Structure 1
Amino acid sequence: MVFRNFSIFMLSLLAFASNVAAQNGFFLRGSVVDTTGASIPHVAVSVETLSGALVKATTSGAEGDFELLSLTTGDFRISIPATPPFAGSQETLHLSHSVSNHRIVLKIESVDQAVTVGEEESLSTEASSNRDTVSVSGDDLRKLPVFDQDYIATMTPFLDGSSGSSGGVTLIVDGVEMKSVAVSPSAIQEVRINNDPYSAEFTRPGRGRIEIITKPGSPEFHAELNFTVRNAVFNAKNYFSAVRPPESRRIYEGHLSGPFGRGGHTNFIVSGSRREQDTAAVVNATGPNGVVNQNVLTPNRNMGFTGRINHDFSPTHRLSIGYNFENSGSTNAGVGGIVLAEAGYNLNYREDDLILNDRIIVTPNLINQLQVTLEKDEDNTRSVTQAQSIQVNGEFVGGGAQADAHRTENTIHINEIVTWSHGRHYVRAGVQLPQFSRRAVDDHTNRLGTFKFSSLGSYSGNTPYVFTAQQGPGRGLYWINEFGSFVQDQIKLSPRVQLVLGLRYDWQTFLPDNNNLAPRISLAYAPDKGKTVLRLGTGIFYDRTGGDFPATVKLHNGSVLHSIQIQNPDFPIAPGTNFSAVPTNLARFDSRVRTPYALQYSLGLERQVHKNATVTISYRGQVQTKSFRSRDANAPILPVNPDLTATYARPDPNYGQIQQIESRGRTELNALDISFRGQAGRVFSGQAQYTLSRFYGNTGGINWFPQDQYDAGSEWARADMDRRHRLNLIGNINPDHWLSLGVNATLYSGTPYTETTGNDDFHTGLGNARPAGVGRNTLQGGGVASLDLLYSHDFRLTKATGDHARLLSAGASAFNVLNRTNFTNYIGALSSSFFHQPTAALAGRQLQFAVGYRF
């Protein structure tokens, strides 16, 4: 009875809210930006009837945002007059619902296109208007459940690992490739994935990069302050933890922007954040004395600050100077699963960036933008325990981490882009230095040595299958330089056909080939008036060595580090033993190594299924050749029936293991993508994406070794990142109402893992041998399912609306609401008591609370 009365009460409230909304009409909120994504403030925005009668008018605010209230259902025209150097814009729209994020891009030539607006514009043939783009504005992020305000992690599931590089996901911040975003979450204007997938401007395809656009400065004062907190008292217990892991997190974050000095030509924006995270890792291992199950404290601190000053020398010339600072420290990193507390390490990291951005509008048809970033990084790693490392396959990792190292990096990033439009052509061309980097490393890893055992039995019997150690000065100085250039022409062949032709060139140190030309082409055709768009495209994308891998080759050259490997050694070996008589290991590039490249191709159909909803269905294929892998070029040549306890000689007795980096691998991807973007009635507004894919290959990356060093080609199997099914959804349930919920849902099938014997059957010291007849990645891990929800509400502190409103916000987020156990770290070693079992799990249900103030 109580539930029935409560239901009637809730329905009455919803009906009342809907009636009020109907009486007050719809609103249209959005922003005005240029082609670089920079906001355009103080331009007139008006809504007119198709006959020209004015309905509503406003002016874009300091950050290019605008708001029009009390609009009714119908056909209208939204107009912006010419604002030199930008031409005017007119768009025809059909309004049927309130719109919270309508983006108007002003180009340096006139734009006249039909647009239908509900939550979405009508379809366009422009390359950057593909509807399977995942785009989230800063306002959208406030309405989504974002764990620890980490919006990069929230958006990452929409990426595709097959489209990434050897260095991982490519991060583009304000058009420039960077290692981190630096600015705090509230200073983000927009996050995009798969925007113009075949753009020649970037090294990776659309699903292999995240593009971040930060907020510009403002001629009026605006600020936002947020405080986020989580505590273990509100968390569910981790599956592998006997006692709920202790946890307390506090995040302070915000930004301030406004005018600087007099004259109205200079403004600034500063942002900062501090994260205090007292977390714990769950250890679930089997040691010589039985099961080890404990919570290990892993506290970390992170602090960041950014500042930028923008000055307009004239209406056509803007100069920006910025500074970024980040400092972080982590304790007991690496602990968890089968890694014991004693095998952890402590991390300290600092980054300083100085950024100069100069934009000049040379003529109404020509824009030049130059950005130069000076970056300095320092990274320290220290082992928690100074002891030899003990690794028992699939059971436990103990002793010391043997991870001590100190790294510094001084890098210049340069991005010079010219944009020119003429008639039907819109041309962009540029020169880029993603990295011009001098690096130094003091490598003191594995100085005491590491013993590896195949099982607990061999550990109890003091019979490791390999011992490794390093000696020598360990200091290396080297340069990592990368160069890129591109030209792209977007041609409007007709009102319904748009062709994009692009050509890119990439070069990097350590790889000898200089002919890395990457042509790209895409075509969009609209057979009807804005309801359907057919897109097809293809292009070549070159890979890189990734991260700091060249340091491996520089250090392991036989002189900087004397790295040794002893098979079937005695146990123990006294720390500090001199190994100068033992042949050294080497790491080198194969003389025939070349830059890997991927050929991607796709065919997609976009269809506007409703005035405010679009569905996209596309096929995506990719073939990467010359993929990186490693091989022991000095592996023992075994007899037909080798003795597992024997030690076999290497072909060249002067050296131990020779890690030879080759580019002879291959991967293939076939994927079907189905995307929804828009509003499903009054129930849901947002974006959803389902992918059915097959990702195969014969390499696991640049540091991956085959089991048989003389038969690497037989490793063809499911790739490590292969997932058959992936479903991601972000948006709002019951949007634009007081009872609206932000939602983030993921549903994945599992990735594969490899069954191994646990022994070193090939006598290489790698311990990656499989049972006879068993291929790579034949075992299947468990899937992942998670539902995150946010309820938040803005309390208006003044009667002002839009750009001048003062708001107090409060919200509560629940992550993994259903408290589903999502297992990770499956063990494939037959010699392990954990064989075919997971040793870790993602967090259970967690609650997060936040309050904020903005004006």
Structure 2
Amino acid sequence: MGDAHSARSSLRRRRFRGSRPRCQDDRQIKGRTVRGLHTQFKGSGTSATAWNIRKDGGVFRKCLGPALAAILALFFFSSAVLAQSLEGVLRGQITDPSGAAISAATVTVTDSQGATKQVQTNEQGQYVLQGLPAGTYTIKVQAIGFVDFEKGSIVIAPGSPQVVDAKLQVAMEKQEITVNDTTNRLSVSQENNASAVVIKGKDLGAFSDDPEDLQADLQALAGPAAGPNGGQIYIDGFSGGQLPPKSDILEVRVNQNPFSAEYDTLGYGRIEVTTKPGSSKLHGQLFADGSNSDFNSRNPFVTKQPPYHLAYEDANVGGPLGKKASFFLYGFRRDMQDSSIVNAIVLDLLDPAFAPIPFSQAVLDPQARTYLGPRVDFQLSPSHVLSVRYQFWHESKNKIGIGQFSLPSQAYDTRKTEHIFEISDTQVLSPRILNQTKFQSKYGRENDTPESLLPAVVVLGAFTGGGNSLGKNLITQNTYQLQNLTSISVGKHALALGGRLRDVDEVDYATRGYNGAFTFSSINTYLTAEQALEHCNAAGGSACAVSGASQFTITAGNPIAQLNLFDLGLFGEDQWRARPNLSLSLGLRVEAQNHIHDHADIAPRVGLAWGLGGAGNPRTVLRAGAGVFYDRFQEAQVLQAERLDGVNEQEFVASSPCFFPNVPSPSELSTLNCGQSVPTKYHIDSHLQAPRTRQAAIGIEQQISQHATASVTYLNSHGVHQLLTRNINTPLPGTYPLDPVYPFGNAGNIFQYESDGLFNQNQIITNFNIRMGTKYSIFGYYTLSFANSNTAGPDSFPMNPYDVLADYGRAAFDVRHRLFMGGSVGLPRGFSLSPLVIANSGAPFNITLGQDLLGTSIFNARPALAPPGATGPGIVATPFGTFDTLPAPDESVIPPYYGAGPGQFTLNLRLSKTLTFGNKGARSQGTGGWWWPSRKGKGLGERGLSAGEAGSSGAGSSESRYSLQLSLAARNIFNFVNLGTPVGNLTSRIFGRSNSLAPSPFSSLSAPRRLDFQARFTF
């Protein structure tokens, strides 16, 4: 329309110049001046004078020619105006809450076919979208520092400009304009990578309501790129802590913005859990879940299983506290009578020859857990919110520590209690600056009590009996976290500055290993010892003692140890929206902690997202990033080094003891004539560095349709300074066992924590996300992974302390194929279906000899490979290959984790029926306009703080005041028997076979398949 107006103006100004004679008479036709054409319209223009044409033909030609040209020009301009009259115009102004104009805001309109058109606002916040074909449109406005505005059902009519103004809210003030967003579009925002998985609302229904199974499901979801340490869970921004009940969870985000400098841990595999706040309307929920052994399948490793059950109750309520505050109160109680399955090889005491026999038994292990958590949100001003949260968590477990090779005598009881206090202060200091400060104080107490204080008897590859070496423990821990995040919006830049300080104070009373432990290399050596002991007793001997054990260990000293461990992380980051289809992020993080050598770990991060084929809503996004990440040296290792430092406590190791089953005191060990007793202490290497991982990724994201996206990412991870433990006083190579020479003389075993490990990992990750309306959604990933390492963690020992690289091989966490799929399907008549599929290829397992061939005091020696079909002493043929169990000192042995375990598959399915009743519109819609801090963003704009929508498991939207949902949840509905890790000890009679079910999420302790009956009442 603006172009037509310009054309008419140009026509009014048009003059025909040159050597041609000027026409003498000029008249106006409806405001248009045409020289040489004389016409006068009266009234409606039905009467006019005749043409007054001079007889001068030259004049005729010179005047009528230009007149005809003007008529033709008028005709063509009229055609253009007519064509434009079939199109419409959308214009408006974008302002902030104060009414000030917002420049450089992106305005995108989408028609009913999905086609988009985009402009940016000018200095006055105005925008104009011209040439829009008549139809219905949706408009979306995005600006750094503000919540997105979206409005649908905008009708564009020909020739009638449509005006849509928008007043954007600051990112904290979440007021959803469009409640049900059924689109699933790509974005070049760093937070909106398509490889991220966002679970909320009905999608949460695919996950277990049981807290332990829920955590296993989330770990499986984060599995493909978690690296050696698995997925890290953050709850409302805090690391550690107990996972809240599912009904308290607003949303879960995995792998979001993986190269953000705000987080210390690897971005791929990071799990962010956001809990629900209060709301402006009273709402609540009651939930009950029950399971019984009568409905579950049977465990294949036991013939007789006692009855067991699970009872879980959950409740929450939320609403206003006056006009400026809201609350949310939640809690649950979980009572479970589960059973642990023992599957071992023992001696038949009824047989005079004590022949080894299989032994299986199911032992009930009662457990109870209580959780309570109130939260209050105060809106102190329109730009200031204060949130206070308290959590109480108590857990009691009886007869745990049993299962697989561990006999019932290994049982112990544990009691754990946690008190967590959190406070969060969020302020909008200006329309462009947001500041958020968080503090958490956590007090924890744990009490472990073994049922037996007898010495432990460990028969490798067969059973573990006697008392539990865990001993009696009383652990008291205080943990503090302080965080600050300041977000600044400057034009197209979103800046973030912040830091985190963590402090752990722990006092630990532990008698681990005080009861002593005998270790036998195989069931045959233990059989020989028991036969000799029986012969001695039958002969009337007193205080009979025999040899046969490979090792005896006992700990003595002061059982009390304490530590203070703190770490500090500071970061700065700039997210720059260079163009509507290009965003760049550059960040730097600096970390430090005590108890280790390096005190300044520098971690740069960079990310890029480039939209191809469309400025605002590209159909293809190229995404790349790289960064450095550090892991912290944990309190468990610091405490071990503090306790067993050789002064406070000492562990004594006697090789080939001759006093089984008697337990001498540490002072008596040195006086015995058999077995060499050496002290053992732990030490932290003075040059230990924090484990560092360099990670780089490049991927392509594709918009398949309006509702579906997919992405493919290649991820490379290289880790150095990985932690391991090495006995630095191992006898020099070639000197053991005949004439051992120790580097540190008679100092005994020195187990030193070092950072000499490394790992390399390459992965291809394929993600997909389909959301069609509110009734159908499916999400998931497939990953192909290759990982190698020479360490399995800080407490793992290399076979040869003088050749750590000889242990470089397939990593313990290297699962070649992983598949994860979840979603929800709405069915007629109030039914819904929530499936969850998890499948893994076999995990590797270690193949060992159950011997110490190098004098390290660690039984992790591995065999060498033998030619297929070889025979002779020490040759063992297995489905995993032919091995030489008596390798020569200079012979190469197999790498660690040489064996491959069985694959695993589970399909979990929840079928629900929802009944609604009561007056319509009485219940709150989501949060009812309340705003609160959320981890969806990290500041203003693309880092904006915002609230997600309440899900079906919480106070979600409903047209009815009350709803009752009845569900049947099946874990592993096809009853697929998922086996655990096979036995890797070549001397075991069940080598290469599993003696347990795989843990959650593939199976429970008791059964491959479990059925849960559930009821949820919502008001």
TM-score (norm 2): 0.72
Amino acid corresponding to residue 485 of structure 2 in structure 1: I
Distance 1:144 1:513, change over 3 A: closer
Question: C-alpha deviations, 1:636-666, integer Å up to 9, x for none?
Answer: 23537x55xx795644343222111111111
Q: Report the Cα offset of residue 752 of structure 1.
A: 0.8
Please, which of 572, 582, 585 is the counterpart of residue 487 of structure 1? 572
Q: Report the Cα offset of residue 626 of structure 1.
A: 1.0
Distance 1:148 1:217, change over 3 A: closer
SS across alignment from 2:920: coil
**Aligned runs of 1:128-143 on 2, under 5 Å?**
128-142=191-205
Q: Report the Cα offset of residue 149 of structure 1.
A: 7.5
Q: Report the Cα offset of residue 732 of structure 1.
A: 2.1
Task: Give distance in 1, aligned partners of 2:145 and 2:792.
Answer: 51
Q: Report the Cα offset of residue 753 of structure 1.
A: 1.1
Q: Report the Cα offset of residue 514 of structure 1.
A: 2.0
Counterpart for residue 1012 of structure 2: 848
Counterpart for residue 71 of structure 2: none
Task: Give distance in 1, aligned partners of 2:772 and 2:713.
Answer: 21
SS across alignment from 1:205: coil
Q: Report the Cα offset of residue 151 of structure 1.
A: 2.7
Q: Report the Cα offset of residue 204 of structure 1.
A: 1.4
Distance 1:196 1:85, change over 3 A: closer
Name the one with the larger strand percent: 1
Deviates more, 1:706-715 or 1:673-682: 673-682
Counterpart for residue 345 of structure 2: 286
Q: Report the Cα offset of residue 345 of structure 1.
A: 1.8
1:381 aligned onto 2:448: yes
**Aligned runs of 1:2-17 on 2, under 5 Å?**
none
Identity across matched positions, percent: 27
Question: C-alpha deviations, 1:682-730, integer Å up to 9, x for none?
Answer: 9962202000010111111101101112111111111001011000001
Please, which of 224, 231, 239 is the counterpart of residue 177 of structure 1? 239
Counterpart for residue 627 of structure 1: 722
Q: Report the Cα offset of residue 278 of structure 1.
A: 0.4
Distance 1:559 1:455, change over 3 A: same
Amino acid corresponding to residue 89 of structure 1 in structure 2: F
Amino acid corresponding to residue 287 of structure 1 in structure 2: V
Task: Give distance in 2, aligned partners of 1:571 and 1:498.
Answer: 71
Amino acid corresponding to residue 345 of structure 2 in structure 1: T
Q: Report the Cα offset of residue 547 of structure 1.
A: 5.2
8 Å Cα contact 1:531/1:607 also seen in 2: yes
**Aligned runs of 1:495-534 on 2, under 5 Å?**
495-529=580-614, 530-534=618-622
**Aligned runs of 1:559-638 on 2, under 5 Å?**
559-572=647-660, 574-575=662-663, 577-579=665-667, 581=670, 582-638=677-733
Distance 1:655 1:344, change over 3 A: farther
Counterpart for residue 9 of structure 1: none
Amino acid corresponding to residue 499 of structure 2 in structure 1: V
Q: Report the Cα offset of residue 419 of structure 1.
A: 1.0
Counterpart for residue 479 of structure 2: 411
**Aligned runs of 1:212-291 on 2, under 5 Å?**
212-244=273-305, 246-260=307-321, 262=322, 264-289=323-348, 290-291=357-358
Counterpart for residue 216 of structure 2: 153
Question: C-alpha deviations, 1:56-108, integer Å up to 9, x for none?
Answer: xxxxxxxxxxxxxxxxxx954266999x995662367999xxxxxxxx99654
8 Å Cα contact 1:144/1:731 also seen in 2: no
SS across alignment from 1:298: strand
SS across alignment from 2:699: strand
Query: When the two structures are aligned, how many residues end up with a matched partner?
Result: 768
1:658 aligned onto 2:755: no
8 Å Cα contact 2:203/2:824 also seen in 1: no
Counterpart for residue 731 of structure 1: 823
Q: Report the Cα offset of residue 357 of structure 1.
A: 1.0
Amino acid corresponding to residue 843 of structure 2 in structure 1: T
Distance 1:755 1:149, change over 3 A: closer
Counterpart for residue 560 of structure 2: 475
Structure 2 gap segments, 5+ residues each: 1-107, 113-134, 156-166, 349-356, 530-547, 671-676, 865-892, 922-956, 999-1006
Counterpart for residue 986 of structure 2: 830
Amino acid corresponding to residue 611 of structure 2 in structure 1: A
Structure 1 gap segments, 5+ residues each: 1-46, 52-73, 96-103
Task: Give distance in 2, aligned partners of 1:109 and 1:444.
Answer: 51
Distance 1:118 1:229, change over 3 A: same
Question: C-alpha deviations, 1:727-768, integer Å up to 9, x for none?
Answer: 000112456774531101111101111211122222222111
Amino acid corresponding to residue 524 of structure 1 in structure 2: A
Question: C-alpha deviations, 1:765-785, integer Å up to 9, x for none?
Answer: 211101133221111100101
Amino acid corresponding to residue 604 of structure 1 in structure 2: G
Q: Report the Cα offset of residue 317 of structure 1.
A: 1.2
Counterpart for residue 845 of structure 2: 753
1:90 aligned onto 2:150: yes
8 Å Cα contact 2:182/2:774 also seen in 1: no
Task: Give distance in 1, aligned partners of 2:307 and 2:179.
Answer: 51
8 Å Cα contact 2:182/2:772 also seen in 1: no
1:426 aligned onto 2:494: yes
SS across alignment from 1:570: coil
Task: Give distance in 1, aligned partners of 2:858 and 2:154.
Answer: 64
Task: Give distance in 2, aligned partners of 1:126 and 1:639.
Answer: 60
Counterpart for residue 691 of structure 1: 783
Distance 1:271 1:201, change over 3 A: same
Q: Report the Cα offset of residue 439 of structure 1.
A: 0.8
Question: C-alpha deviations, 1:392-430, integer Å up to 9, x for none?
Answer: 111101111121211111121111111111110111111
Counterpart for residue 953 of structure 2: none
1:722 aligned onto 2:814: yes
Task: Give distance in 1, aligned partners of 2:909 and 2:716.
Answer: 34
Task: Give distance in 2, aligned partners of 1:647 and 1:259.
Answer: 78
8 Å Cα contact 1:442/1:475 also seen in 2: yes
Distance 1:146 1:303, change over 3 A: closer
Distance 1:788 1:297, change over 3 A: same
Task: Give distance in 2, aligned partners of 1:134 and 1:88.
Answer: 20
Counterpart for residue 326 of structure 1: 393
Q: Report the Cα offset of residue 146 of structure 1.
A: 4.5
Give RMSD over aligned pairs.
Answer: 2.9
Task: Give distance in 2, aligned partners of 1:615 and 1:757.
Answer: 46
Q: Report the Cα offset of residue 270 of structure 1.
A: 1.0
Counterpart for residue 354 of structure 2: none
Amino acid corresponding to residue 768 of structure 1 in structure 2: N
Structure scoring higher RCO (CA < 8 A, sep ≥ 6) equals 2
Distance 1:658 1:120, change over 3 A: farther
Bigger Cα Rg:
2
Task: Give distance in 2, aligned partners of 1:214 and 1:413.
Answer: 18
8 Å Cα contact 1:448/1:576 also seen in 2: no
Distance 1:550 1:679, change over 3 A: same
TM-score (norm 1): 0.85
Task: Give distance in 2, aligned partners of 1:116 and 1:94.
Answer: 16
Distance 1:754 1:79, change over 3 A: closer
Task: Give distance in 1, aligned partners of 2:581 and 2:274.
Answer: 29
Question: C-alpha deviations, 1:293-347, integer Å up to 9, x for none?
Answer: 1101111110011111221111111112221110001112221111111112211
Q: Report the Cα offset of residue 230 of structure 1.
A: 0.5
